[in-house]
């Protein structure tokens, strides 16, 4: 195995510290979370390669045809960099969670669709994927921590899942939930997070053309650390909205409270749209570090996707749309 000790794309420690957690970093260190994130790496090396050998039941669907409508203004981030610079707190707060994340079992995987729908459904992930037409889309990804990447996702529009779910007219939001299994995810044994990870969108956001459910990246099924087997990509919002490893879509009337909003409501709101003019309470959002390049670029409002989404927020000027 190629173990890279110092990676050229490493950020200075100041930036690499998960910004979300700065408020409780001492608590985390006291509780030995660093060890939690790092210790399994060596131990799991064998299991990692064993799991990687298992064939993915949908691998024949990749690579999917690229949808050329979604253009980038920068090169796609190198896949190796993307695979070793992730936020997946279920597997620790380090950026390189590739090794511990291999504990995630991605089959069998059942997706539940419930709440305000004509009929609740439970469907196996492979059935769900095969009902959809997969396409590739290149999207920018802007983390609230002021870094960014550009990724070639494969998947299908969230709108297609909404159509499949047949929500009732009373449904106002879709709440999405990550798996919950502390035996499989050491991070979920940390009591100060309200596990499982939850995020929500309005129905208008969920059915917007850009909202995408990724099943793959870089021409093959998603790696575990990318949020296999099903994760959201909503590129006009800060990255924490793009929930990983989803097991449930619940159509609801009340606005869902996401995990980060529950942890720190003064810093992470429901809308979380990207806006360079509105700083996070503890840092500027004006620019972003483009991971893997050493470049710092100005951040664009709605992460450059205003043509697709700005209309969604007309008349909501009094809402906290930007954090
Ligand atoms: N989803 C779950 N279940 N757990 C997480 O820790 N992190 C979020 C989001 N979705 C997270 C999650 C954050 S903060 C970001 S920036 C993106 O996933 C990171 O996605 P990436 O690792 O593919 O870049």
The string of DSSP codes covering 225-255 is GGTTT-EEE-TTB-GGGS--SEEEEEEESSP
Residue identifier of the C-alpha nearest atom 21 of ligand 1: 86
CA dist 321 and 323 (Å) reads 6
Q: Is residue 222 part of a domain?
A: yes
Q: Is residue 296 part of a domain?
A: yes
Q: Is residue 243 part of a domain?
A: yes
Q: Is residue 11 part of a domain?
A: no
pLDDT of residue 50: 52
Q: Is residue 17 part of a domain?
A: no
Residue entry with tokens 């004509």: 118
Which CATH number belongs to the domain containing residue 206 in this structure? 3.90.420.10
Under 8 Å CB-to-CB from 8, ≥6 apart: which residues?
none
Q: Provide residues with CB under 6 Å of ligand 1.
A: 86-90, 141, 143, 178, 197, 226, 239-240, 242-245
Q: Please tell me the total number of residues recorded for the chain in this structure.
A: 323
Q: Is residue 316 part of a domain?
A: no
Return the closest-CA partner of residue 242 out of 219, 217, 265, 264. Answer: 217
CA dist 125 and 70 (Å) reads 26
pLDDT of residue 53: 56
E strands, the chain, are 110-115, 121-124, 135-142, 147-157, 173-178, 198-202, 212-217, 220-221, 231-233, 246-252, 287-290, 295-298
Q: Is residue 115 part of a domain?
A: yes
Residue identifier of the C-alpha nearest atom 4 of ligand 1: 88
Domain count, the chain: 1
Q: How far is CA 86 from the centre of its chain?
A: 9
CA dist 136 and 277 (Å) reads 31
pLDDT of residue 55: 86
Return the closest-CA partner of residue 63 out of 156, 161, 157, 153. Answer: 153
pLDDT of residue 21: 53
Distance in Å, CA 240 to ligand 1 centroid = 5
Structure tokens that stand for 39 in this block = 């210790």
Cα atoms found within 13 Å of the Cα of residue 108, Cβ hemisphere only: 6
Angle, alpha carbons 92-248-34 (nearest 5°):
5
Q: Which domain holds residue 166?
A: 22-310
One digit per residue, the tens of pLDDT, for the chain of length 323 reads 233 333 333 333 333 344 555 444 333 433 444 444 434 444 444 454 454 557 899 999 999 999 999 999 999 999 999 999 999 999 999 999 999 999 999 999 999 999 999 999 999 999 999 999 999 999 999 999 999 999 999 999 999 999 999 999 999 999 999 999 999 999 999 988 999 999 999 999 999 999 999 999 999 999 999 999 999 999 999 999 999 999 999 999 999 999 999 999 999 999 999 999 999 999 999 999 999 999 999 999 999 999 999 999 999 989 999 98
Of all atoms in ligand 1, which is nearest to the CA of residue 232?
Answer: 10
Structure tokens that stand for 206 in this block = 């969920």
Residue 163: which H helix or E strand, with range? helix 158-165
Q: Is residue 317 part of a domain?
A: no
Kindly compute the dihedral angle of the four CA atoms of residues 76, 79, 81, 82, in this order, to the nearest 10 degrees. 80
pLDDT of residue 122: 98
pLDDT of residue 323: 87
Of all atoms in ligand 1, which is nearest to the CA of residue 226?
Answer: 23
pTM over 0.85: yes
CA dist 116 and 113 (Å) reads 9
CA dist 6 and 37 (Å) reads 17
Structure tokens that stand for 267 in this block = 């810093």
**Quick one: CA dihedral 284, 313, 208, 255, positive or negative?**
positive
Distance in Å, CA 20 to ligand 1 centroid = 12
Q: What's the helix, strand, coil split of the chain in %, to 5?
A: 30, 25, 45
Of all atoms in ligand 1, which is nearest to the CA of residue 86?
Answer: 22
């Amino acid at each position: 195995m190629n173990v890279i000790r110092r990676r050229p794309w490493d950020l200075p420690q100041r930036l690499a510290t998960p910004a979300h957690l700065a408020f409780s970093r001492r608590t985390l260190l006291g509780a030995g979370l660093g060890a939690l994130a790092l210790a399994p790496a060596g131990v799991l090396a064998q299991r990692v390669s064993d799991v990687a050998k298992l064939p993915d039941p949908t691998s024949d669907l990749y690579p999917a045809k690229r949808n050329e409508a979604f253009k980038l203004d920068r090169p796609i981030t190198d896949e190796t960099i993307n695979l070793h610079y992730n936020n997946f707190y279920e597997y620790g707060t380090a950026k390189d969670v590739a090794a511990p994340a291999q504990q995630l079992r991605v089959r069998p995987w059942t997706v539940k669709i419930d709440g305000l729908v004509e009929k609740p459904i439970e469907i196996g992930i492979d059935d769900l994927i095969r009902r959809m037409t997969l396409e590739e889309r290149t999207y920018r990804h802007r983390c609230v921590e002021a870094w960014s990447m550009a990724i070639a996702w494969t998947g299908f529009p969230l709108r297609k899942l909404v159509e499949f779910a047949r929500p009732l007219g009373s449904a106002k939001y879709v709440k999405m939930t990550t798996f919950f299994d502390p035996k499989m995810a050491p991070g979920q044994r940390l009591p100060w997070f309200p596990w499982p990870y939850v995020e929500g969108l309005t129905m208008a956001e969920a059915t917007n053309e850009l909202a995408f459910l990724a099943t793959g990246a870089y021409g093959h099924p998603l790696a575990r650390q990318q949020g296999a087997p099903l994760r959201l990509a909503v590129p006009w919002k800060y990255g924490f909205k793009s929930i990983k490893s989803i097991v449930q879509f619940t159509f609801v009337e009340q606005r869902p409270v996401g995990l980060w909003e529950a942890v720190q409501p003064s810093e992470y709101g429901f809308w979380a749209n990207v806006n360079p003019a509105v700083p996070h309470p503890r840092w500027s959002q004006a620019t972003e570090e483009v991971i893997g390049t050493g470049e710092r670029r100005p951040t664009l409002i709605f992460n450059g996707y205003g043509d697709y989404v700005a209309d969604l927020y007309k008349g909501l000027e009094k809402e906290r749309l930007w954090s």
